[in-house]
Structure 1
Amino acid sequence: MSELLRIEGLNAGYGDALVLFDVALSLDEGRSLALLGRNGVGKTTLVNTIIGVTRRRAGRITLADVDISTATPEQRAHAGIGWVPQERNIFKSLTVVENLTAVARPGPWSTERVFRMFPRLAERKSNLGNQLSGGEQQMLAIGRALMLNPRLLLLDEPTEGLAPIIVEELLAALKTLFRDEGLAAIVIEQHARKILELTDTAIVLERGRVVLADDSAALLREPARLERHLGLSAAA
């Protein structure tokens, strides 16, 4: 299995403020990684740095052995990075179909395939983005990222604020993407146990530094290791 993403000695932040310190990680093709940590420790900043919207002070980011450290966000998207931000950022004045086709790039993912994964979207394909529920908007945000036909999918809190039944639907879809489709992904998630059940590996950030890295299955077997860094509620 070949390496897809490598981050080495990464220092990054916003303006003059550093948020990440000497971060290093690697991710192979077809593997998924859970990005864990308490609020405000730098998880979103790390994802934002991978997509190129922070100020990188030091370090190197490579995608499939190509250095993308200085690439623009648009160049990184063309290189194969798909992003589902916490805010979703769907086009609210466009229909579901228009949202999907507006960003489509050649590859195996099509509107029909997205609709098979998210039947709720198929039922609402003519609805405008602002006519969808929060859960449906999240499904659309994921579907839109898939229409880029990415090599690497980044998801920032995909289940936040959603009803339990929608959370289960989304987690089932992510399981299909990671386990069956073999799509490489990095997922930020507050509910550690739920996402560890779907991912291959995990890292924990504290104050902008990686303090724990292991296989997801190993962390599930040893919850005390997570509890030390995340607290009881987050590790549950």
Structure 2
Amino acid sequence: MAELLKVEALSAGYGEAVVLNNISLSLDEGKTLALLGRNGTGKTTLINTLAGATRQHAGSITLGGTLLHKLPSHERAGVGIGWVPQERNIFKSLTVDENLTAVARAGAWTPARVYEMFPRLAERKTNLGTQLSGGEQQMLAVGRALVLNPKLLLLDEPLEGLAPIIVEELLKAIRRITRDEGLSAIIVEQHPQAILAISDSAVVLDRGTVVHAGTAQELREQPALVDRLLGVSR
């Protein structure tokens, strides 16, 4: 299987502050990577760096043969990055339908397919972003990223703060997007078992460095190892 993403010796942060140190990882086409770690270990900074929202101090990022680190953030969607940040960043003054159609690019993922996957959004097509619940806003944020028809989907804590029924809906959708549709993804999540179940590989960060890299199955089958890596005491 062809390599899609390659990160080599990456250091990045905000201004002069370096948060990530010497990060290296790779992801093949059609595969999903679970990005794990305690709060403040650099997971969001890594996602933001891939999206172009931090200052990169060293290293390289290659996406499908394109030197991603040389592109400004507003050009990265055009070469295949679909980003769902923690803040969701939907256009709250636009309707659901306008949110989707305003950014849609030609490809397999259309607003109609997003509505089929998230019937809640179909029922609220004419609602403004401000009129949606937190879970519906998250669905819309995922839908906005999909209609860009990306090569790589970046999801930063997509389940955070959501009701259990919405968590189940989103997990089902993410499983479909990655497993059934074969879209490559990197997923940051505080609840590792939920994401490890639908991931191929896993990377654990601590203090801005990679402290573990391996298969998701390995971590699923060794909860004690997960607890140790994440600093959890039973």
- TM-score, normalising length: structure 2: 0.98
Aligned to 2:25: 25
The amino acid of 1:96's aligned partner reads V
CA RMSD, 1 decimal: 1.1
Q: Which residue of 2 aligns with 1:144?
A: 144
1:169-227 CA-to-partner distances (Å, cap 9, x unmatched) read 00000000111000000000000000000111110000000000111011111111111
Q: CA deviation at 1:25?
A: 0.3
Q: Does residue 60 in structure 1 map to residue 47 in structure 2?
A: no
d(CA) in 2 for partners of 1:194, 1:153: 18
Please, what TM-score do these two structures have when normalized by structure 1?
Answer: 0.97
Gaps of 5+ in 2: none
Aligned to 2:69: 69
Residue in 1 aligned with 2:49?
A: 49
Instruction: Measure the CA separation in 2 of the matches of 1:65 and 1:78.
Output: 14
Give the partner amino acid of 2:155: L
Residue 231 of structure 1 deviates from its aligned partner by 3.6
Task: Answer yes or no: is 1:213 the counterpart of 2:213.
Answer: yes
Residues 1-236 of structure 1 correspond to what in structure 2 (within 5 A)? 1-232=1-232
Amino acid at match of 1:155: L
In 1, Cα distance between equivalents of 2:51 and 2:17: 18
Q: Distance in 2 between matches of 1:4 and 1:102?
A: 27
CA distance in 1 between partners of 2:151 and 2:15 (Å) = 29
Q: Deviations over 1:110-158 (max 9, x none)?
A: 1110001101000111111100100000000000000100000000000
In structure 2, give the amino acid aligned to 1:176: R
Aligned positions, number: 234
Matches of 2:15 and 2:79 in 1, distance apart? 26
CA distance in 2, matches of 1:220, 1:127: 40
State the distance in 2 between where 1:7 and 1:232 align: 28
| Counterpart-to-counterpart distance in 2, 1:177 and 1:112 | 15
Which amino acid in the other structure matches residue 110 of structure 1?
T
Letter in 2 for 1:170: L
Provide the C-alpha distance between the structure 1 equivalents of 2:12 and 2:37, rounded to a whole number of angstroms. 17
Q: Which amino acid aligns with 1:228?
A: R
One-letter code of the match for 1:40?
G
Distance 2:103 2:182 in 1: 22
Runs of 4+ in 1 over 2 A off after TM superposition: none
CA distance in 2, matches of 1:11, 1:143: 30
Q: Greater shift after overlay, 19-28 or 215-224? A: 215-224
Distance between the aligned counterparts of 1:55 and 1:85, measured in 2?
17
Calculate percent identity across the aligned residue pairs: 65
